[in-house]
Amino acid sequence: MTGSHASHRLSAGTAIEIGLNAAIVAVESGIPRVYTVPGDEPALPFGPFDPVRHRTLEIGLRDWVEEQTGLELDYVEQLYTFGDRGRHTAPGLAEPHVVSVGYLALTRLLERGARENWLAWYDFFPYEDWRDGRPEILDREILPALDAFVAEPPSPDGPVRALDRAERVRLAFGTGGSPWDEEKALERYEVLYEAGLVTESVADGRPLRPYASRMIGRAMRHDHRRILATAISRLRAKIKYRPVVFELMPPNFTLTALQGTVEAISGRHLHKQNFRRLVETGALVEPTGASTDRTGGRPAQLFRFRREVLRERPAPGVRVGLR
């Protein structure tokens, strides 16, 4: 290698492994859950990509997830590649650097895999659930700590960013008159990480901040909580323009159950009549002609997803107003 390209050679002894991580999501009784591997800290299912055994990354993901957890994945889509140095090893160790490809997977059945491994995702992000109103933890703990973070002089060795701390907090957490955007779950987690308000930040060698009286949310192994936040942001955005919510529903369902699933994912309350009108007029569902009395009241009509809608228009999502 000669000329200007010579400076781009890999460092001597560089070793890189490709890992695959899966944020496997299901919803049960209004609780969005993610499948985790138990340990001192829960982790998303993960394992190495073996190019000899697996023709594609997704085939590898499906194969070892089934081996490791007993789960046969339904809907799967690639999220992002996570390659920050120090993700899996402490600085200075000679182990291979792991670059992980994260995936979002959706399933309907929690009985797949060990039930105790299905953890509520709001345990990891307690400030993301607005269904019963603004979470108290925001005003009680998070925003006062972020005010101190904004007031703290930034490190001269820190990265140069287009937006300053105050602007990032405002956009991520909806302060200063900005609206709360449920799709910014990843941005919120990254602000909390930078501010030293999550366990992972301290574990990665960042100093404990004086204003960090308590770490926010349940920690995950390595950077798996960041991967999960990425999955939440992607799913919250995608339900608005693609009918992926039906990947979480049984074949036949009530409109109340469908609304509850959308609310569980978005973390926001939906106006019942508006939701039903938009779902029905959008031709996303059709009645089955049957009903169920399992709702505890009068029999509720059962519906099913109209798969024809995928051919009828390009963006058949659940476009509903959140409040």
d(C-alpha 173, C-alpha 175), whole Å? 6
What is the pLDDT at residue 51?
83
Residue 111 has pLDDT above 70, yes or no: no
What is the pLDDT at residue 199?
95
Average pLDDT over residues 287-313: 83
The gap between the terminal CA atoms of the chain, to the nearest Å, is 58
Confidence band of 13 (pLDDT split at 50, 70, 90): low
Confidence band of 12 (pLDDT split at 50, 70, 90): very low
What are the two backbone dihedrals, phi and then psi, of residue 240, each rounded to the nearest 5 degrees? Answer: -85, -20
Say which residue, 95 or 268, is predicted with more confidence: 268
What is the pLDDT at residue 110?
67
| Domain ranges across the chain | 14-122, 127-217, 240-312
What is the pLDDT at residue 317?
63
Confidence band of 54 (pLDDT split at 50, 70, 90): confident
Confidence band of 321 (pLDDT split at 50, 70, 90): low
* 14-122 carries CATH number 3.30.200.20: no
Average pLDDT over residues 299-318: 79
**What torsion do the CA atoms of 109, 229, 211, 132 make, to the nearest 10 degrees?**
-50
Please give the single-letter amino acid code of residue 228: L
What is the pLDDT at residue 10?
45
Nearest CA to 22 among 76, 82, 74? 76
What is the pLDDT at residue 7?
41
Please provide the average confidence, as pLDDT, over all residues in the chain: 85
Are 283 and 266 a contacting pair, CB within 8 Å? no
Confidence band of 155 (pLDDT split at 50, 70, 90): confident
The model's pTM? 0.87
Confidence band of 69 (pLDDT split at 50, 70, 90): confident
Tokens of 119: 């953890």
Average pLDDT over residues 147-155: 89
The CATH number given to 240-312 is 1.10.10.10
